[in-house]
Amino acid sequence: MTDVLAAPTGTEAPRSEPPPRRRRGLGDQAFAWALLTPAFVVLIAFTHYPIVRSAMASAQERGGEIGTGQYERLVNDPVFWQVLKNNIWFALGTVPTSMALAILMAVWVNNKLKGQAFLRLAYFTPTILPMVAVASIWLFFYSPGIGPIDQLLSAVGLPTRNWLGDPDTVLPALMVMMIWKQAGFFMIFYLAGLQNMSPELEEASTLEGASRWYHFRRVTFPLLMPTTLFVFVVAVTDAFKIIDHLFIMTGGGPNNASNLLLYYIYDTAFSFFDPSYAGALTMALVVILGLAAILQFVVLERRVHYR
C-alpha cells in the first residue's frame, strides 16, 4: 500500500526542491498512514471492534460465567442448521444464475444496436431500487389470488399458489426476486470488463475463422475472469448479508422456511434479546464468510488471468 501511495510523490522529485532523503521517506510513511487513518478508524469502530465484542458476548453463559455453552446450544439448535441450509441453497440458487444472466446481458448490450442506452438502463433499473421497495413490489406480485402472478396463472387456467405461505415455494420465490434485483448490477461490472477489451481480439478471431461461441469461450470469458472473481465474491457475500426483504415479505416464515442466518441473528439479538447466543451465531457467520473469502482469493485467484 505504502509503495503505491509513495509513487506519485516520487515522480515529482525532480521538480520540487529535494529535501533530505531520509526525512522524506519517513514523511511519506506518515502521510500514507494519515491517509489510511479515516478508513482504519471507521473499520475498527464498525467492523473489528463489534466482531471482538460479539466473540466476547458469545463466551458468556447464562448467569454470567465464561464458557462454551452458547456454542453447544448452537450445535444442538435445529433452527440454526435450518437457516444455514436455507442460506446455502439461497446462495446456490442465486449466485450462478444471476452471474450467468449478467454476462449474457452484458454481451448483449455491448453490441452495437439501436436503443442500446435504453436497454442498459432497463437492465440496470432493478438495481437502483432500494431492496425494501423491491420487496414491497414482489410481495404484491406474489400475494395469493390478487397478485399479478396468480392473476396470470388463473387467466391461463393454471392453479394459483400461496407463494410465500408455502414452505416449498417461499425460498425459490425469494431467489427469483433476488436474481431479478442483482443481475443488472453484476451486468455493469461485466460491461466495464468487456469495454476494456481490445476490439483487435475479436477481429483476430474473425480472421482465424473462430465461431462467436468459440471466441467467447476461449478469449472473452478467460479475460473476464478478474471481473468474474470480483462479482462472485460480491454475490456470495450478498447472499449471506442481504436480508431486508425478509422483514417485508416473510419474517423468515412459514416455520423458518425462508429464514436466513443474518435474519436469525437479528431475531435472536433484538426480538428475543439474547445477545450471547446472537454473538455465537455471529461468530458462525464470520467464520463462514471468512472461509468463503479465503477459498475465493487463494484457490480461485490462481486460476484468474490478470493482464
Partner 1 sequence: MPVRPRSLTGAAAVAGALVVVAGCGGGGDGSGGSDGLTMYYPVAVGGPLTEVVDKLVADCTEETGTQVTAVYSGSYADTMTKAQTAARSGQGPDLAVLLTTDLYTLIDNDLIVPLDTLDEDLSWTEEQFFPAFLASGEAEGKLWSLPFQRSTIVQYHNKEAYEAAGLDPEQPPTTWEELEEHARQIQEQGAAEYGLEIPSTQFGNWMFQAMAIQQGVENTPGTDGFVDYLDDPGSVEALTWWKSLADEGLMPSGTTEWASTPEDFLQGRTAIMWHTTGNLTNVRTNASFDFGVSMLPAAEQPGSPTGGGNLYVFNRGDENSRAAAYEFSKCLTEPERAAEWSIASGYVATGEPAWETEAMQEYAEEFPEATVARDQLEVAQGETTSHENGRVAQAINDTIAAVLTGQAEPQEALTQLQANIDQILQPYRAR
Q: With binding defined as CB under 8 A, does residue 144 bind partner 1?
A: yes
CA separation for the pair 262, 182 (Å, rounded): 19
Looking up cell 402472478 gives 149
> What's the grid cell of residue 192?
466495464
Residues in contact with 230: Cβ distance below 8 Å, sequence separation at least 6, in sequence order: 189
Q: With binding defined as CB under 8 A, does residue 1 bind partner 1?
A: no
CA separation for the pair 279, 50 (Å, rounded): 10
CA separation for the pair 188, 123 (Å, rounded): 9
Closest separation between CB of residue 79 and partner 1, Å?
8
Alpha carbon distances (Å) from 137 to 147, 149, 197:
10, 12, 37
Per DSSP, 166 falls in state S
Q: With binding defined as CB under 8 A, does residue 172 bind partner 1?
A: no
Q: With binding defined as CB under 8 A, does residue 271 bind partner 1?
A: yes
From 37-45, 181-189, 194-202, 229-237, give the range in contact with partner 1 by CB under 8 A.
37-45
Q: With binding defined as CB under 8 A, does residue 226 bind partner 1?
A: no
Question: Which residue number, 64 or 199, has a Cβ lying nearer to partner 1?
Answer: 64
Question: Pick from 84, 202, 253, 300: which binds partner 1 (CB under 8 A)?
Answer: 253
Question: Total number of residues binding partner 1 (CB under 8 A)?
Answer: 39
> What's the grid cell of residue 43?
473499520
Per DSSP, 60 falls in state B
Question: Pick from 3, 4, 8, 111: which binds partner 1 (CB under 8 A)?
Answer: 8
3-class DSSP assignment, residue 271: helix
> What sign has the CA pseudo-torsion 134, 265, 233, 174?
negative
- x-or-dash pattern for partner 1, window 173-212, by CB under 8 A? ----------------------------------------
Q: With binding defined as CB under 8 A, does residue 45 bind partner 1?
A: yes
Question: Which residue number, 63 or 199, has a Cβ lying nearer to partner 1?
Answer: 63
Question: Pick from 22, 200, 273, 298: which binds partner 1 (CB under 8 A)?
Answer: 273
Question: Which residue number, 66 or 146, has a Cβ lying nearer to partner 1?
Answer: 146
Q: With binding defined as CB under 8 A, does residue 146 bind partner 1?
A: yes
Contact (Cβ atoms closer than 8 angstroms) between residue 192 and residue 227: yes
Question: Pick from 119, 127, 165, 244: which binds partner 1 (CB under 8 A)?
Answer: 165
Three-state SS sequence of 167-222? CCCHHHHHHHHHHHHHHHHHHHHHHHHHHCCCHHHHHHHHHHCCCHHHHHHHHHHH
Question: Pick from 10, 67, 115, 145: which binds partner 1 (CB under 8 A)?
Answer: 145
Looking up cell 436480508 gives 243
CA separation for the pair 115, 61 (Å, rounded): 62
Question: Pick from 7, 10, 35, 152: which binds partner 1 (CB under 8 A)?
Answer: 35
Question: Pick from 1, 3, 14, 16: which binds partner 1 (CB under 8 A)?
Answer: 16
Question: Pick from 257, 281, 284, 285: which binds partner 1 (CB under 8 A)?
Answer: 257
Contact (Cβ atoms closer than 8 angstroms) between residue 297 and residue 217: no
Question: Pick from 41, 158, 204, 293: which binds partner 1 (CB under 8 A)?
Answer: 41
Q: Which residues bind partner 1 (CB under 8 A)?
A: 8-9, 12, 15-16, 24, 27-28, 30-31, 34-35, 37-38, 41-42, 45, 62, 143-146, 162, 164-167, 251, 253-257, 267, 270-274
